[in-house]
Structure formats: structure tokens, C-alpha cells
């Protein structure tokens, strides 16, 4: 296969490590902190995880290493959607294993958790590992979304792990994948298995974070990629001066991506789902905000602009959120009955019978295309696949209708031509930024440290991330600390709580203080492409969100 010049150059990039991890393994000690508790539902979570609840946070410092010197066989799984940097987690883990003992082994289970259940794996060797260093994607072993939930699955995982004499399993994934990791760690410990389970925090959505996990890997690269594209669109809009661009970006449960892209590009409008829910804004209220900007800019002679919309916006609109909640519950209880219906009118009648009067009223006023999108196949958790709902087109339709009414009333005489975009897959497999290349390599290297000290049910954590990499700190956090109970498939289940945009946090406040100006004036910023070579002030910068949070 012919390689691009950038591929060749990136293979040779040596990721930076925190100073503590540059030491020889024998000179790194584990220091335990306070006992932890789950973010909520403490008694229920403790009951569900009796063997792995209440463990202490860990930091690594210089000192004598008391870990047992033993040959290790470690398995690794990529789980869930792709995120830039995943390959470097694996190369960091591999390098730490081989640096310690040449006879240590790393097995990669293919296509996600199903690879473990099916015993489908590859044993990593130098040449194969070297061909994936600092590259995007998850193609080194593939990924999957199989959930480990049943007793049969746990037993099969234990059987395969014992067949290979695994000492540990590293699961690289988001909130649901690391919930899998916590459940599997508990199962192994409860059944007398030596297999340790360590998680690594991955998701471009940015919603897997707390006071210890400052950012999930992939967020930096994905938002820089989207921001470049949005900046390009802004430049085009400012050149052509005749289009309003409505850009939907990934982020179903939280609006971190939308907010970061807004901080980077300064569009005319950016909606934050969490604020929409907090203010109980209706679809009409949301459209009115755009209309107000369109009218004011038109009065200045600017019949163009850019609107950023988070993927999950529609789910945060109170009346739509209630509708989606009822749809999720209805489908969980009557999925077979609904799936047996083929005629659209019959499906419509089914909804009228099974939804509340208020929710059906909302459903009935939506465009037919949106109604059908709401009734598409469920996601793996049994929920509406919000990513398939073209919210940007729905919003354009409502805005056009409102502007037509204003024209008839003589309150608006501008021109409104709208174009829609959805940026999702474009950012998931990009070449990782230097930040993500360094961060992910450190997460993998640090996962080895947790394994060597015998920890299980922990997330690998690297903190102090707004500083240069040499000042980063390494450690681990019990996964149960992040857990609570949530409704899934009609039942209460333990899951990692998603971190939403904090409306009192510095990043949102910075945005809120400036958006009224951006709504009227053309204040676009053009961040340009990710830079890999050059001054650190350009190549190694982190996100605006993280910089503001750690000011």
C-alpha cells in the first residue's frame, strides 16, 4: 500500500509523556488517596458492585516500585464509535509492556467486545504496531458496540480470558463501554478470576469527564477538524454573502462539541442543548432566535450567516423530549407489535393510540420526514436514533415560515437562502492532533502502570492537561465513582453519568457574554487546519474549553 508523506512522517513522531512516566518502571510508586463513592444512588451502586465499590483514587509518583515483577499477558479492546488517538492508546500500552519485559504479550481482540466472546484476536508484534502509530481510525483491530450484559456473556468472557491466561483486559471506550468494563471487573472478581480490567476514556462527544478526567480523548482532534470546516464555511459565506449555513455537529447527549466549535469560530448563532432545556425553549423559541439574527443582519445588508446546532438539540426541547421519552418507553414495551406494521398510516394510528394527547400533538405537527426519522430503528440502548433526525432542516423550515409571515406584515424585506450540513464522520478518524497523540499514548502507557500494581475496575487518568505534557500527572480512578442509575430499555441500570455542558462554567459564560455581538456582526474566526509541525504555540494547543476551564 502506498503511503502519503504525512503518514510516513507521523509514524516517526515520538509522543510526549508525563515526566513521571519517563522514569524506569522500578522508580514509580502508586500512592492511594481517599475512598470514593458513586456520583449518586450510592447504596444501590454499592449493592451492585460489592467487590469494586469504594476503592481509592491512585496517583503515580517517584519512589520505589513495590509491584510484583511478573510476565504479563494483556488483552485490549476498542469499543464503540471511533475517536482519533485510539491507536496510540494501544501503542503506548504495547511499548510499556515491552519496555518492562520482552516476553510480555499484548493481544488485540477484534471488532470490539464480540472479539473477546468469539476468541477472535491478533498477537501484536513490532512491525504491525509500528504501522499504526499516530494514525487515526480504529482499523488496527476494529471496533464494535456489543454490550456485555448477560450471565452467559460474562461466563464466555471469563472462559476466553482464562484460555489465554490473561492477566488484564484494557477496554478503550466511552461511558457505556467503560460501564461494561466496570461490570466485567466486578464479575471477574466475584468469580475468583485474576483478570484485571482497566478502562481508557474515549469519546469525541466530550461527555465522559469529571474532576479527574479532564477531557476524553478524540475531542481535541474532532473539534479542531469540525472547526476548520466551519471556518471554511464562514469564509465562503462572507465571500458569497448570500447564504445562511445551518451546521449540525455530533453530540447527542451533551453540547460540548457545538460549544467548542463556537468558541473556535464565533458563528452568528450556536444553540446549547442544556440551555434550551434549562430555559424550557420550544421549537418556536429556538427558531425565533435565528429569525431575530437574520432580520438584524439583513438590516445591515448582510443576508448571510452561520448557525451551529448540536446533534441532540431536538431531544432537549421540553415538548419533544417528552415525546421521545414516550416513544422510547412505547418501543421498549411494544417493539414487536410496532415492527409488524408496514403501512405508514397504520403506524401513525398506532402512535395516536399509544402516545399521550400532548405528545401526539407535537408528533402530528412535525414534517412527515421528521416523523419517520423518529420512528426508525432504535439504537443499541433501545432509544430513538437522534443522529438520524435532520434538525437543521427542520429548523430551516420553521425559520422560513416565520420570515414569510414577517414579510407579509412588512417587517422584513431581506433575502434568506439556507444550506444545511452535518459534520460527524469527518472528525472521528482524523489524524490525531499532537495533543491527542500524546494524551492517548500516555493513557495506554499509564494503563500498564495500573495493571502492574494489580488494580482492577479503574480508568486510566492523565491530568493537568492544559500544561505542557511533561507537567501532566498520571493515575487512576475507580469507574464506580462515575456511576449512577438510569432508565434503559424500561429498567433501572447502572451506567456512567454523562457530563453535560455546565451553564455556570467558564466556557459557556465566555460564549454567553459574546453571542449577542456575534448574532449581529460578522465576527467569524478561521482556525484553519490542524498543525503537526512548527511552534508548540500552534501545534500543541489544546481546546478552548479546556484552556478556559483550567485558567
Catalytic site residues?
Answer: 205
Distance, first Cα to last Cα, the chain: 45
392: which 3 cell numbers? 437543521
- Rounded to whole angstroms, how far apart are CA atoms 138 and 428? 10
143-167: b (≥16 Cβ within 10 Å) or e: bbbbbbeeeebbebbbebbeebebb
Among 148, 176, 150, 164, which residue's Cα sits nearest to residue 71? Answer: 164
Q: 504: buried, middle or exposed (CB in 10 Å: 19+, 13-18, 0-12)?
A: exposed
- Rounded to whole angstroms, how far apart are CA atoms 534 and 352? 60
Do the beta carbons of residue 509 and residue 521 sit within 8 Å? no
Phi, psi of 402 (to 5 degrees): -70, -40
In eight-state DSSP terms, residue 430 is: S
Half-sphere exposure of 341 (CA within 13 A, CB side): 16
- Rounded to whole angstroms, how far apart are CA atoms 484 and 286? 31
Among 178, 441, 368, 440, which residue's Cα sits nearest to residue 186? Answer: 178
Phi, psi of 222 (to 5 degrees): -60, -45
Do the beta carbons of residue 216 and residue 202 sit within 8 Å? yes
- DSSP H or E stretch at residue 539: helix 536-539
3-state SS class at 212: coil
165: which 3 cell numbers? 491466561
Amino acid at each position: 500500500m502506498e503511503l502519503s508523506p504525512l503518514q510516513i512522517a507521523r509514524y516517526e513522531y515520538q509522543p510526549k509523556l508525563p515526566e513521571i512516566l519517563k522514569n524506569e518502571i522500578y522508580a514509580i510508586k502508586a500512592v492511594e488517596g481517599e475512598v470514593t463513592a458513586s456520583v449518586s444512588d450510592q447504596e444501590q451502586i454499592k449493592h451492585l458492585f460489592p467487590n469494586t465499590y469504594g476503592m481509592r483514587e491512585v496517583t503515580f509518583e517517584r519512589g520505589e516500585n513495590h509491584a510484583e515483577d511478573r510476565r504479563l499477558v494483556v488483552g485490549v479492546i476498542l469499543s464503540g464509535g471511533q475517536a482519533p488517538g485510539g491507536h496510540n492508546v494501544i501503542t503506548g500500552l504495547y511499548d510499556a509492556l515491552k519496555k518492562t519485559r520482552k516476553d510480555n504479550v499484548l493481544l488485540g481482540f477484534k471488532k470490539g467486545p464480540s472479539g473477546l466472546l468469539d476468541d477472535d484476536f491478533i498477537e501484536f508484534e513490532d512491525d504491525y504496531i509500528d504501522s499504526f502509530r499516530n494514525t487515526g481510525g480504529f482499523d488496527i483491530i476494529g471496533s464494535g458496540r456489543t454490550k456485555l450484559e448477560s450471565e452467559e456473556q460474562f461466563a464466555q468472557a471469563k472462559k476466553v480470558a482464562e484460555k489465554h491466561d490473561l492477566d488484564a483486559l484494557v477496554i478503550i471506550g466511552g461511558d457505556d463501554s467503560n460501564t461494561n468494563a466496570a461490570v466485567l471487573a466486578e464479575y471477574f472478581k466475584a468469580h475468583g478470576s485474576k483478570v484485571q480490567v482497566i478502562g481508557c476514556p474515549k469519546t469525541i462527544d466530550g461527555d465522559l469527564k469529571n474532576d479527574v478526567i479532564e477531557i476524553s480523548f478524540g475531542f481535541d482532534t474532532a473539534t479542531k477538524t469540525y472547526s476548520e470546516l466551519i471556518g471554511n464555511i464562514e469564509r465562503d459565506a462572507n465571500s458569497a454573502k448570500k447564504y445562511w449555513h445551518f451546521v449540525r455537529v455530533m453530540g447527542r447527549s451533551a453540547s460540548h462539541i457545538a460549544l467548542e466549535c463556537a468558541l473556535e469560530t464565533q458563528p452568528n448563532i450556536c444553540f446549547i442543548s442544556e440551555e434550551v432545556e434549562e430555559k424550557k425553549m420550544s421549537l418556536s423559541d429556538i427558531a425565533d432566535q435565528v429569525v431575530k439574527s437574520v432580520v438584524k443582519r439583513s438590516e445591515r445588508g448582510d443576508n448571510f450567516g452561520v448557525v451551529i446546532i448540536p446533534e441532540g438539540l431536538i431531544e432537549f426541547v421540553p415538548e419533544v423530549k417528552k415525546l421521545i421519552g414516550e416513544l422510547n418507553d412505547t418501543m421498549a414495551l411494544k417493539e414487536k407489535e410496532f415492527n409488524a406494521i408496514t403501512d405508514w398510516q397504520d403506524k401513525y394510528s398506532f402512535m395516536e393510540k399509544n402516545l399521550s394527547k400532548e405528545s401526539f400533538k407535537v408528533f402530528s405537527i412535525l414534517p412527515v420526514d421528521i416523523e419517520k426519522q423518529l420512528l426508525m430503528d432504535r439504537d443499541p440502548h433501545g432509544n430513538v436514533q437522534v443522529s438520524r433526525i435532520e434538525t437543521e432542516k427542520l429548523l430551516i423550515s420553521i425559520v422560513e415560515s416565520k420570515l414569510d409571515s414577517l414579510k407579509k406584515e412588512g417587517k422584513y424585506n431581506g433575502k434568506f437562502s439556507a444550506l444545511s450540513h452535518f459534520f460527524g464522520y469527518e472528525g472521528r478518524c482524523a489524524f490525531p492532533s499532537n495533543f491527542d497523540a500524546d494524551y492517548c499514548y500516555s493513557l495506554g502507557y499509564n494503563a500498564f502502570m495500573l495493571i502492574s500494581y494489580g488494580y482492577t475496575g479503574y480508568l486510566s487518568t492523565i491530568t493537568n492537561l492544559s500544561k505542557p505534557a511533561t507537567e501532566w500527572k498520571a493515575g487512576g480512578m475507580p469507574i464506580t465513582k462515575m456511576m449512577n442509575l438510569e432508565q434503559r430499555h424500561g429498567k433501572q441500570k447502572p451506567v456512567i453519568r454523562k457530563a453535560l455542558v455546565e451553564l455556570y462554567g467558564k466556557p459557556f459564560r465566555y460564549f454567553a457574554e459574546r453571542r449577542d455581538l456575534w448574532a449581529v456582526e460578522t465576527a467569524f474566526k478561521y482556525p484553519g487546519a490542524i498543525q503537526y509541525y512548527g511552534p508548540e504555540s500552534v501545534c500543541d494547543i489544546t481546546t478552548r474549553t479546556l484552556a478556559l476551564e483550567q485558567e
